[in-house]
């Protein structure tokens, strides 16, 4: 990585303005999943250990540029305090005279969490004046919000441009770039990519960017039925992006001709679990590729699971993004859970594995196998854009490291 990291900058007694991704789920004012908070702990602990003054900023939800109580970060401050074992002062806003006084009065080792930056419309506009005011709160800028790095907003991009000599990547950002970077370089083969989820359109850039590097592309989830439909199979009431059929056909052709000596094997479901509705109350195995009229496919079937598993266990590099079916419903969860088990088993045998995407990560958590994966990405859309070959504004804005 050619960017400055948190280990390259002096933090002692400095006001360290740190962009984190605390966009976490809440229920009745309580954080229900603190994964993203925990992911940023190493960076926060480094700043505190080095006697820095930790000023945190994040977005939360979509408040449309004005304060809304339900989008306050106050519940996050409470959970962070419990996790980090120190008081966290919750600021009433993210800028203004009161906030400047608050951060200027900080002692080394103290923590302030600024209120939701999206309470100001200037944040998403990457407004230059707003960026300057935010930047004035810190002497050093650290970006540890990889999940927001694909957005050119004030807190992810504009501030880094203002503090351009001291804009560094935190540990989570560094880990994400390192792990995902391995997937787009010359990764060891066999290299298996497993893609699922609802839409082909969400993954098309990833497919095109990786297709010449990989050995097998395993496709499940709703997007598989766009491919099967493009091949001429009956898919019943299964989810299909009709307007993407040509794209699916093109992907299959690209896979076939990607490497004359070792063409990519594009694998689609050969059997399914079908039902009359997404509720799956009458779910049953279906051994044929074609889906009967009036039925929809909610998961990959036993034959496909076994075939996918065998390919995964032979892999040396694995990327998994997207569930194999409607895994939230017990009737359709087996395929996704079995894939999680296969990826974990392959990893234990020496494969390098990366799992990304909110649903895949959630399924992995349900399976209890998170710790058995090489890298679990918090990136969501940022991961897909990076793997799709796009530059991320939040990364590009960081200070270039001096050449050694």
Is the peptide bond preceding residue 190 cis, with omega within 30 degrees of 0? yes
39 lies in the same domain as 170: yes
The enclosing domain of 264 has a CATH number of 3.40.50.1260
12 lies in the same domain as 148: yes
Q: How many domains does the chain have?
A: 2
Q: Tens digit of pLDDT per residue, the chain (404 long)?
A: 689 999 999 999 999 999 999 999 999 999 998 989 999 999 999 999 999 999 999 999 999 899 999 999 999 999 999 999 999 999 999 999 999 999 999 999 999 999 999 999 999 999 999 999 999 999 999 999 999 999 999 999 999 999 999 999 999 999 999 999 999 988 999 999 999 988 888 888 999 899 888 999 999 999 999 999 999 999 999 999 999 999 999 888 888 876 666 778 899 999 999 999 999 999 999 999 999 999 999 999 999 999 999 999 999 999 999 999 999 999 999 999 999 999 999 999 999 999 998 788 888 888 999 999 999 998 888 999 999 999 999 999 999 987 65
Reading phi first (left if > 0) and then psi (alpha if -120 to 50, else beta), residue 57 is in beta
CA distance 249 to 322: 20
Q: Is residue 393 part of a domain?
A: no
Supply the angle between the helices 223-230 and 245-257 in degrees, to the nearest 10: 80
Cβ pair 156, 148 in contact under 8 A = yes
Q: Is residue 403 part of a domain?
A: no
CA distance 45 to 39: 11
On the CB side of 193, CA atoms within 13 Å amount to 24
The pairing of strands 296-300 and 272-275 is antiparallel
120 lies in the same domain as 163: yes
> Residues near 372 by Cβ (< 8 Å), separated by ≥ 6?
344, 347, 348
264 lies in the same domain as 141: no
158 lies in the same domain as 197: no
Q: Is residue 400 part of a domain?
A: no
118 lies in the same domain as 233: no
Which of 217, 309, 311 minimizes the C-alpha distance to 259? 217
281 lies in the same domain as 375: yes
17 lies in the same domain as 135: yes
163 lies in the same domain as 300: no
Q: Is residue 295 part of a domain?
A: yes
Buried b / exposed e over 234-248, threshold 16 CB at 10 Å, is ebbbbbbbeebbebb
pLDDT at 258: 67
Within 219-301, residue ranges assigned H as helices are 223-230, 245-257
Supply the angle between the helices 302-313 and 334-348 in degrees, to the nearest 10: 20
Cβ pair 192, 318 in contact under 8 A = yes
Which of 121, 153, 174 is at the close of a domain?
A: 174
Q: Is residue 51 part of a domain?
A: yes
Full domain range(s) for residue 359: 186-387
Beta-bridge mates of residue 382: none
pLDDT at 185: 87
199 lies in the same domain as 315: yes
Which element (helix H / strand E) includes 179? helix 171-184
Q: Compute how many other C-beta atoms are within 10 angstroms of the C-beta atom of residue 323.
A: 31
207 lies in the same domain as 324: yes
CA distance 287 to 289: 7
pLDDT at 179: 95
Residues annotated as catalytic are 36, 199, 358, 381
Q: Is residue 402 part of a domain?
A: no
Q: Is residue 125 part of a domain?
A: yes
Q: Is residue 333 part of a domain?
A: yes
152 lies in the same domain as 43: yes
Beta-bridge mates of residue 285: 273
Cβ pair 351, 183 in contact under 8 A = no
Which of 191, 1, 208, 37 minimizes the C-alpha distance to 113? 37
pLDDT at 261: 65
Provide the 3-class DSSP secondary structure of residue 16. strand
Which of 115, 143, 174 is at the close of a domain?
A: 174
């Amino acid at each position: 990585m050619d960017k400055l990291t948190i280990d390259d900058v002096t933090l002692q007694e400095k006001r360290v303005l740190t962009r984190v991704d605390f966009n976490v789920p809440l229920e009745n004012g309580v954080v229900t999943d603190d994964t993203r908070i925990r992911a940023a702990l190493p960076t926060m602990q480094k700043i505190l250990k080095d006697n820095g003054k930790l000023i945190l900023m994040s977005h939360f939800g979509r408040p449309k540029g004005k304060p809304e109580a339900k989008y306050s970060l106050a519940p996050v401050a409470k959970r962070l305090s419990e996790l980090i074992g120190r008081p966290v002062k919750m600021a009433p806003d993210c800028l203004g005279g009161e906030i400047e006084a608050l951060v200027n009065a900080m002692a080394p080792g103290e923590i302030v969490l600024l209120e939701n930056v999206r309470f100001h419309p200037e944040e998403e506009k990457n407004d230059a004046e707003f960026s300057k005011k935010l930047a004035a709160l810190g002497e050093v800028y650290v970006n540890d919000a990889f999940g927001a790095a694909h957005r050119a907003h004030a807190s992810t991009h504009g501030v880094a441009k203002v503090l351009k000599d001291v804009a560094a990547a935190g540990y989570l950002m560094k880990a994400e770039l390192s792990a995902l970077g391995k997937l787009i370089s010359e990764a060891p083969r066999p290299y298996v990519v497993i893609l699922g989820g609802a839409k082909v359109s969400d993954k098309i850039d990833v497919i095109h960017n990786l297709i010449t590097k990989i050995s097998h592309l395993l496709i499940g989830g709703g997007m598989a039925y766009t491919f099967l439909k493009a091949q001429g199979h009956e898919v019943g009431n299964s989810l299909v992006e009709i307007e993407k059929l040509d794209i699916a056909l093109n992907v299959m052709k690209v896979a076939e001709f990607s490497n004359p000596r070792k063409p990519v094997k594009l694998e689609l479901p050969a059997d399914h679990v079908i039902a009359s509705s997404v509720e799956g109350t009458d779910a049953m195995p279906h051994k044929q590729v074609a889906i009967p009229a009036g039925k929809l496919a909610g998961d990959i079937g036993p034959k496909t699971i076994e075939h996918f598993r065998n390919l995964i266990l032979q892999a040396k590099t694995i990327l998994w993004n997207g569930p194999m079916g409607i895994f939230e419903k017990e009737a359709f969860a087996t395929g996704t859970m079995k894939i999680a088990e296969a990826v974990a088993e392959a990893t234990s045998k020496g494969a390098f594995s990366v799992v990304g995407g909110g649903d895949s990560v959630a399924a992995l958590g349900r399976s209890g196998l998170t710790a058995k994966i090489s890298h679990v990405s918090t990136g969501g859309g940022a991961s897909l854009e990076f793997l799709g070959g796009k530059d991320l504004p939040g990364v590009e804005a960081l200070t270039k490291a001096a050449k050694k």
